[in-house]
Amino acid sequence: MSERVKILLTIPNFKTAGSQYVLQNLYRQINREIFDLYVGIENLPEYFPEEIPASQRIFFKRSGKKISDIRTLRNILRKNRIDLVHSWDHKSDFTEAVACRLANVKYLYTKKNNAWSKRWKLKSFLSDHIAYDNPEMKNRFFNSFLFRGKITFIPHGVDPDIFVPSLTLRSGKIPFNLCCVGNIVPNKNQLFLVESLLRLPEYIQLHLAGRADAKYLENLKKFVQEKALEKRVHFHSFIGNNSLPEFFKDKDVFVLASYNEGLPVSVLEAMACGLPVISSCSGGGTAFILKDGKGGYLFGDREDFLQQVLKLRQEEVYEEKSRQAVENVRQNFKLKDEIRSYEVLYKKLIKK
């Protein structure tokens, strides 16, 4: 290729979108000799990361009228001579896919959640290719002959230079700190974690960090107050990706009680920092990460959860699971492998 391939990465915004750090890692580390990257957002342009120069930014404010939005995006793609659009949008909206067809541009989206509907099927049909991060999605969503030939499994990776184990000895210490990082919303089911404290020793504490749904957070705090758990439940605001290793330093176990997840990057980040994980199956992503129990446990009900927390209080068990967690991520979830997989996929799509 004499000219670099022009890729447009799209995401709703850099304030609330869950894939912002995955996209930024891709932007930073992709092979610039081959690819020329642009980044497009729909709202909150003031949150564009400084590392993305103004010449590479595209702001596409939707009008809410599909035909108008499709035409506008088609014109943007033509004007910037984009070769491929890679969408990190979590929604089933198919505007991008249609605009790409009209502009003769390849369209790829990464499936990250367990939502599925007729609109998702249409978006998938209109796409040139689909990447997915949870192996269970292959049979759950893409087993139809319409999709089988245009899917690629690409799990997330973690930067080992940022997420490193703490040198602090954790096993046996008091308090014993459980933590959960992620949006504080009903799907994440933090209420289950708070309720579980009532049946655990008082030296076990819980730290919840993330952007919160106001009503859900209010109900959590009300429960904490009613049950006199104020000294054991600690609420933290959103923590930026680069600040997570510092947050994990005095934490002991990462816990996740979600009803549905894709492949949660927060789990990988915690494990890379040496924290064992206790998680619900939550859609299969965490089950894939923790296959063979390497780095933690999956729980089925509250009794399982309680037993696993207490099991990790045993020094030998804790040290073994902590070591496994770090090794698991370093061997199977490298950021450079994720980046290289997308580079290979981009080249494959452009050649077609």
Look up residue 343 and give its amino acid.
E
- Within a 13 Å sphere around the CA of 33, how many CA atoms are in the beta-carbon half? 0
What domains does the chain contain, in order, with CATH numbers? 5-157+334-351 (3.40.50.2000), 176-332 (3.40.50.2000)
Name the residue with tokens 């000895």: 169
**Strands across the sheet containing 57-59:** 57-59, 35-41, 5-10, 84-87, 106-111, 129-132, 151-153
DSSP string, 111-176: E-S----HHHHHHHHH-SEEEES-TTHHHHHS-STTTGGGEEE----B-TTTS---SS--TT-SSE
> Residue 18 phi/psi, 5° resolution?
-70, -20
Q: How high is the pLDDT of residue 1?
A: 44
The pLDDT value recorded for residue 318 is: 95
Question: Along the 352 residues of the chain, how does pLDDT read in single tens digits?
Answer: 458 999 999 999 998 887 899 999 999 999 999 999 999 999 999 999 999 999 999 999 999 899 999 999 999 999 999 999 999 998 999 999 999 999 999 999 999 888 899 999 999 999 999 999 999 999 999 999 999 999 999 999 999 899 999 876 665 678 999 999 999 999 999 999 999 999 999 999 999 999 999 999 999 999 999 999 999 999 999 998 889 999 999 999 999 999 988 889 999 999 999 999 999 987 778 999 998 889 999 999 999 999 999 999 999 999 999 999 999 999 999 999 999 999 999 999 998 7
pLDDT at 240: 87
